Amino acid sequence: MRKNIVAANWKMNLDRVEGITLVEDILGKISLDSKTEVVLAPSFIHLYKLGKMCDDRRNIFIASQDCSASNKGAFTGEVSAEMIASCAAKYVILGHSERRTNFSETNELLKLKVGQALANNLEVVFCCGESLEQRHSGAHFEWLNSQISDSLFHLLAEDFSKIVIAYEPIWAIGTGVTASSDQAQEAHNFIRDIVRKRYGGNVANDTSILYGGSCNPVNSAELFSQPDIDGGLIGGASLNADDFVAITDSF
């Protein structure tokens, strides 16, 4: 049975003190009995400390926002999956549209990063999504299919079970524009269907698919009520404890 997951992507925000303060606030507000899995994805500098802060909470986990495609070596500024795993992280986010656009990350590069993550016992939140131009031209389903199949469909079913997919329409990230619940459901259903065609019904039905486009406390309940939307990858709203906790309570 697939999990409901709400993940906080802090992006490049919050210094050390601000990050600790936010997590303390979240831990004080979030229900210990919540069945929703909560994932916090801070900058690399926070991983070890926040992992320690959350290690006694059964429903709160830490994620990295990225990892290197290489295991180790002369790659100045890179952080390996092995290093991330040593900080007690459970997840790594890969393929975010900002990484694809600003750092020219390709499907082939992401395939390598996925391999590094899985080899180090990290689960992957794999992002995919289309631009406004692709949606208007009707190419968005073909684009989603290529992003997912090129980077993930080489995996055996056992390894694919460690993948969470996050659908993030690029035109709805940081713009204040949100896909309607019907638009989001349509995309999530399409993603689940291509997973079903590749791996079968059991794997598809067990795969959590998150919505990642300007999800907030106002629209989260409606989005999460859709049959194929299993939670959210939250950007700006995750920097406010009250807003983030309200989203986690939306199921």
- 193's CB contacts (< 8 A; 6+ apart) are 204
What is the residue whose two structure tokens read 């631009």? 131
What pLDDT is recorded for position 241? Answer: 98
Question: What is the pLDDT, as a whole number, of residue 177?
Answer: 72
* Two tokens, residue 112: 């390598």
What is the β-pairing status of strands 163-167 and 60-64? unpaired
Q: Give residue 121's region: left, alpha or beta (phi > 0; psi -120 to 50).
A: left
| Structural domain boundaries in the chain | 5-248
Q: What is the mean pLDDT of residues 205-234?
A: 96
Average pLDDT over every residue of 85-90: 96
Is the pLDDT score of 33 beyond 90? no
Helix (H, G, I), strand (E, B) or coil at 71: coil
Average pLDDT, the chain: 95
- What's this model's pTM, rounded to 2 decimal places? 0.96
Active-site residue identified among 37, 46, 96, 123: 96
d(CA 160, CA 123): 9
pLDDT in tens, 124-140: 999 999 988 898 899 99
Which pLDDT belongs to residue 132?
Answer: 85
Whether domain 5-248 has CATH 3.40.50.740: no
Q: What is the pLDDT of residue 136?
A: 86
Q: What is the DSSP string of 187-232?
A: HHHHHHHHHHHHH-HHHHHH--EEE-SS--TTTHHHHHTSTT--EE
**Whether residue 114 has pLDDT greater than 90:** yes
Distance from first CA to last CA of the chain, Å, rounded? 16
Asked whether residue 80 carries a pLDDT value surpassing 90, the answer given is yes
Model confidence at 228: pLDDT above 90? yes
Q: Tens digits of per-residue pLDDT, 162-195?
A: 999 999 998 887 777 778 999 999 999 999 999 9
Please check the confidence at residue 20 and state whether its pLDDT lies above 90: yes
Q: Is 168 a catalytic residue?
A: yes
Residue 5, both tokens: 């997951």
Asked about 140 being catalytic, the answer comes back as no
The DSSP symbol for 138 reads: T
Q: Enumerate the H helices of 38-139 as residue ranges.
A: 47-54, 81-85, 97-102, 107-119, 132-137
Q: What is the pLDDT of residue 179?
A: 83
Average pLDDT in the 2-28 region?
97
What pLDDT score was predicted for residue 44? 96
Exactly one of 98, 123, 130, 168 is catalytic; name it: 168
